[in-house]
């Protein structure tokens, strides 16, 4: 079977159906076969209504008395109906699915699958999915274990099922895909692919489905890793500008700093400076917990780049952060010049949405007058071009999608790649380093600058704030220290969008009338934001009521308390980042997590109270949420793995070894044209350089 054959060649697919399928990106026979069932339903577990027990259930019956009701509050719709079989009847409800009222034919029988549970004192079947009995049962034979396909826009799952059924006889002709090298798991054998696809589409029992899934998950992970590995090889073929290790310059800078570098900073700096000297592009990630001092490491590296005549671009996720970096770089280089009069310093510029005279600045970047440009997304626009971009730094790299990162990297001179340093406080688990990042090079800052006091974290019910929180705030303010107060930005169409922030700022201004209370949120004009941030950094504002715009990177060492309202609404990584805004100087710091819920605090919040170690918290987060939601590409929905699970380390380890073996001879790829084609999408996704 030719997996690349156009879908028109599939039996039962006429021109009209073909058009529909193409619209959802199903263009080849292979595309169809890899459209796997969304779930499996075991209809053998169907129960009579009189025997129902609470939990997930399947019942077979007819539905009547359908009606839609609207609640006055929040425009919620409720669709109700009665399902009956020979033994009895039950009530079913759907929320916000008004189309359900018109979906059913009262004369026909359906399988209903859903949760049977107690709601307001009555047992109901909650939001069941439904399948026509006629669609599920084959030739009058009772339904057994069935795949359920997802609806793809206008294509009904039933149509899809019919097409796949029509191909059933040809599954045996599906060719193998993976290379068979020496070390492959037993279940990766000739014929395994065709069998796995068959079992996935036509399983007889859960074990069949699982066997199919296992092979296909392996295949998916293998492809992802191989793509990353080939990308890495490809990058090695590109040339980068060697940025010569300037030992003397480095020593001079280090001496001019107002502090001593930590051991971890020295080591990371050394690793980076060494690698920048290579003709091959660096692709390194600087991982260090919040406050570990990543910025200075980056700054030293930019000085080396400038000394070699290369331009550097530093990309930051928010204007506030870009501004702050710009100011600290200027300060650093001014300090350097003061101690070393006559020294030639890199010329620095700031480029954000708010930058005035953008065109002129862009001209200076294009002609190479500017050595180092620090900016936001404005750096990525087509009109921002460089003369000799040799080094890119991406701060808080997980905030950027792959496409954005690539846009920046492509601004280097033709046939070269810039060196890349990405920085993050969010540790990337080993499994992801291997898969998505293709065995990434990492420099680690596993040490905080000396003198940092631990941040004391406390969960506090919001009702207790007057008694337990305000006195603590007063005491801190008396010491001339500053406070962040974080509010959620609740989008409310009827009101000005920043209401909670405004309300809270007003309230605090009344309570702490001797102090300056400022307000900051993303919807404010940029100039105003900058002004507020500057005022806070200079100590003109005592309490800054803000949304999470201050979440990443912001550095005001005199702020030693952060209060996070509605703390239960944030993820662990985000809470840790927010808390990282304080404790950046040598004073003790406090973090209050305010909760509105009456029950016991969530596991997340308790972990926050217990630990300030970002690496530990990332692991907890990984366990609580799974890796899929957390990192880079996945966060941006670009990496849609169908079957594989990125916390399945066993499969990852096996596939990784297999891919490494194969990648030793990349020239063999020509013998695997289908594989080469399939991994192209991953190659675009995982390339970082």
**Minimum distance between the CB of residue 574 and ligand ADP, rounded to whole angstroms?**
15
Give the residue from 328, 329, 326 showing the smallest Cα distance to 351: 326
Closer of 553 and 583 to Mg ion (Cβ): 553
Site for ligand ADP in 574-593 (CB under 6 A): 584
Does 614 help bind ligand ADP (rule: CB under 6 A)? no
Pairing type for strands 348-351 and 311-315 reads unpaired
Contacts by residues 501-508 (CB-CB < 8 Å, ≥ 24 positions apart): 501/545, 501/546, 501/547, 504/545, 504/565, 505/545, 508/543, 508/545
Say how many residues touch ligand ADP, by CB under 6 A: 19
Does 555 help bind ligand ADP (rule: CB under 6 A)? yes
Tokens of 563: 């209060």
Binding residue (CB under 6 A) for ligand ADP from 13, 225, 290, 374: 290
Does 293 help bind ligand ADP (rule: CB under 6 A)? yes
Closer of 37 and 288 to Mg ion (Cβ): 288
Sequence-separated (6 or more) residues with CB below 8 Å from residue 640: none
* Phi, psi for residue 358 in degrees, rounded to 5: -55, -40
Binding residue (CB under 6 A) for ligand ADP from 79, 92, 146, 262: 262
Taking CB within 5 to 8 Å according to partner kind, which of ligand ADP, Mg ion, none is near residue 265? ligand ADP
Does 37 help bind ligand ADP (rule: CB under 6 A)? no
Instruction: Measure the CA–CA gap between 677 and 264, rounded to whole angstroms.
Output: 42
| Contact window for Mg ion (CB under 5 A) among 43-51, 64-72, 547-555, 566-574 | 547-555
Contact of 578 with 548, CB cutoff 8 Å: yes
Does 128 help bind ligand ADP (rule: CB under 6 A)? no
Give the residue from 291, 281, 267, 381 showing the smallest Cα distance to 582: 291
Taking CB within 5 to 8 Å according to partner kind, which of ligand ADP, Mg ion, none is near residue 259? ligand ADP
**Minimum distance between the CB of residue 613 and Mg ion, rounded to whole angstroms?**
17
Tokens of 428: 């990337």
Give the residue from 497, 423, 455, 411 showing the smallest Cα distance to 587: 455
Binding residue (CB under 6 A) for ligand ADP from 294, 377, 399, 581: 294
Taking CB within 5 to 8 Å according to partner kind, which of ligand ADP, Mg ion, none is near residue 292? ligand ADP
Closer of 100 and 398 to Mg ion (Cβ): 398
Closer of 125 and 425 to ligand ADP (Cβ): 425
**Minimum distance between the CB of residue 320 and ligand ADP, rounded to whole angstroms?**
13
Give the residue from 579, 553, 423, 399 showing the smallest Cα distance to 486: 579
If you search the block for the tokens 């990648």, which residue do you land on?
663
Closer of 28 and 265 to ligand ADP (Cβ): 265
Taking CB within 5 to 8 Å according to partner kind, which of ligand ADP, Mg ion, none is near residue 296? ligand ADP
Taking CB within 5 to 8 Å according to partner kind, which of Mg ion, ligand ADP, none is near residue 291? ligand ADP
Closer of 147 and 553 to ligand ADP (Cβ): 553
CA atoms within 13 A on the CB side of 341: 0
DSSP state of 6: B
Indicate the SS3 state at residue 86: coil
Closer of 29 and 296 to ligand ADP (Cβ): 296
Instruction: Measure the CA–CA gap between 350 and 270, rounded to whole angstroms.
Output: 27
Provide the CA 449 distance to its chain's centre, in angstroms. 29
Taking CB within 5 to 8 Å according to partner kind, which of Mg ion, ligand ADP, none is near residue 79? none
- Residues of 631-670 as b/e, b for ≥16 C-beta within 10 angstroms? bbbbeeeebeeebbbbebeebbebbbbbbbebbeeeeebe
Site for ligand ADP in 406-445 (CB under 6 A): 425
Give the residue from 464, 395, 400, 453 showing the smallest Cα distance to 424: 395
Taking CB within 5 to 8 Å according to partner kind, which of Mg ion, ligand ADP, none is near residue 290? ligand ADP
Does 553 help bind Mg ion (rule: CB under 5 A)? yes
Does 322 help bind ligand ADP (rule: CB under 6 A)? no
If you search the block for the tokens 């991982």, which residue do you land on?
287
Contact of 565 with 501, CB cutoff 8 Å: no
Closer of 296 and 498 to ligand ADP (Cβ): 296
Binding residue (CB under 6 A) for ligand ADP from 259, 331, 353, 673: 259
* Phi, psi for residue 596 in degrees, rounded to 5: -100, -20
Binding residue (CB under 6 A) for ligand ADP from 144, 401, 539, 557: 557
If you search the block for the tokens 């609580």, which residue do you land on?
624
**Minimum distance between the CB of residue 560 and ligand ADP, rounded to whole angstroms?**
13
Query: In the complex, which residue's CB is closest to Mg ion?
Result: 553
Provide the CA 368 distance to its chain's centre, in angstroms. 35
| Contact window for ligand ADP (CB under 6 A) among 119-127, 259-267, 589-597, 621-629 | 259-267
Instruction: Measure the CA–CA gap between 636 and 332, rounded to whole angstroms.
Output: 35
Instruction: Measure the CA–CA gap between 351 and 366, rounded to whole angstroms.
Output: 13
Closer of 291 and 632 to ligand ADP (Cβ): 291
Residues in contact with Mg ion by CB under 5 A are 553
Residues in contact with ligand ADP by CB under 6 A are 259-262, 265, 288, 290-296, 425, 449, 553, 555, 557, 584
């Amino acid at each position: 079977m030719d997996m690349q054959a156009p879908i028109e060649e599939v039996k039962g697919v006429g021109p009209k159906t073909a058009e529909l399928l193409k619209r959802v990106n199903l263009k080849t026979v292979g595309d169809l076969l890899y459209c796997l069932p969304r779930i499996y339903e075991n209809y053998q577990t169907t129960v009579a209504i009189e025997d129902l027990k609470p939990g997930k259930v399947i019942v077979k019956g007819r539905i009547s008395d359908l009606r839609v009701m609207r609640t006055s509050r929040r425009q919620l719709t409720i669709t109700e109906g009665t399902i009956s079989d020979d033994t009895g009847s039950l009530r079913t409800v759907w929320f916000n699915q008004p189309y359900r009222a018109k979906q059913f034919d009262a004369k026909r029988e359906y399988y209903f699958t859903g949760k049977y549970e107690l709601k307001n004192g009555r047992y109901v079947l909650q939001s069941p999915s439904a399948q026509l009995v006629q669609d599920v049962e084959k030739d009058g034979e009772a339904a057994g274990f069935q795949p359920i396909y997802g609806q793809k826009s206008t294509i009904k799952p039933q149509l899809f099922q019919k097409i796949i059924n029509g191909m059933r006889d040809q599954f045996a002709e599906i060719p193998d895909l993976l290379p068979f090298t020496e070390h492959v798991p037993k279940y990766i054998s000739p014929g395994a692919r065709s069998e796995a696809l068959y079992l996935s589409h036509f399983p007889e029992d859960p074990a069949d489905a699982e066997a199919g899934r296992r092979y296909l998950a392996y295949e998916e992970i293998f492809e992802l890793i191989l793509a990353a590995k080939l990308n890495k090889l490809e990058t090695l073929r590109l040339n980068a500008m060697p940025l010569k290790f300037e030992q003397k310059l480095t020593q001079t800078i280090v001496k001019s700093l107002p502090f001593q570098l930590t051991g971890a900073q020295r080591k990371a700096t050394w690793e980076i400076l060494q690698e920048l000297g290579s003709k091959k592009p660096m692709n390194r990630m600087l991982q260090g917990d919040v406050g570990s001092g990543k910025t200075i490491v980056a700054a030293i590296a930019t000085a080396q780049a400038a000394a070699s005549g290369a331009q550097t671009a530093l990309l930051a996720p928010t204007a506030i952060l870009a501004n702050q970096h710009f100011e600290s770089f200027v300060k650093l280089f001014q300090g350097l010049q003061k101690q070393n009069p006559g020294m030639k310093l890199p010329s620095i510029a700031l480029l954000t949405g708010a930058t005035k005279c953008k065109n002129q600045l862009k001209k200076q970047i294009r002609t190479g007058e500017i050595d180092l440009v620090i900016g936001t997304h404005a750096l990525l626009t087509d009109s921002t071009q460089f003369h000799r971009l040799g080094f890119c730094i991406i701060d808080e790299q997980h905030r950027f999608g792959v496409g954005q990162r690539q846009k920046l990297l492509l601004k280097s001179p033709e046939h070269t790649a810039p060196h890349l340093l990405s920085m993050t406080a969010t540790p990337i688990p080993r499994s992801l380093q291997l898969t998505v990042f293709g065995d990434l090079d990492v420099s680690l800052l596993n040490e905080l600058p000396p003198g940092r006091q631990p941040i004391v974290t406390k969960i506090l019910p919001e009702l207790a704030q007057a008694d337990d929180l305000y006195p603590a705030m007063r005491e801190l303010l008396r010491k001339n220290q500053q406070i962040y107060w974080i509010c959620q930005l609740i989008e409310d169409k009827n009101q000005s969008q920043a209401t909670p922030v405004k309300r809270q700022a007003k309230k605090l201004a009344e309570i702490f009338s001797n102090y300056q209370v400022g307000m900051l949120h993303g919807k404010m004009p940029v100039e105003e934001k900058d002004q507020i941030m500057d005022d806070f950094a200079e100590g003109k504002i005592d309490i800054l009521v803000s949304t999470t715009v201050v979440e990443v990177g912001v550095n005001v060492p005199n702020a030693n308390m952060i209060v996070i309202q509605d703390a239960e609404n944030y993820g662990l990584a985000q809470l840790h980042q927010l808390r990282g805004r304080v404790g950046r100087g040598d004073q003790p710091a406090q973090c209050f997590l305010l909760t509105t819920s009456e029950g016991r605090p969530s596991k997340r919040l308790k972990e926050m109270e217990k630990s300030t170690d970002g690496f530990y918290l990332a692991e907890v987060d990984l366990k609580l949420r799974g890796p899929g939601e957390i990192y880079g590409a996945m966060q941006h929905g670009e990496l849609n793995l169908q079957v594989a699970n990125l916390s399945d380390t066993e499969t990852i380890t096996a596939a990784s070894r297999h891919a490494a073996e194969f990648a030793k001879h990349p020239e063999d790829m020509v013998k695997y044209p289908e594989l080469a084609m399939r991994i192209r999408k991953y190659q675009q996704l995982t390339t970082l350089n």
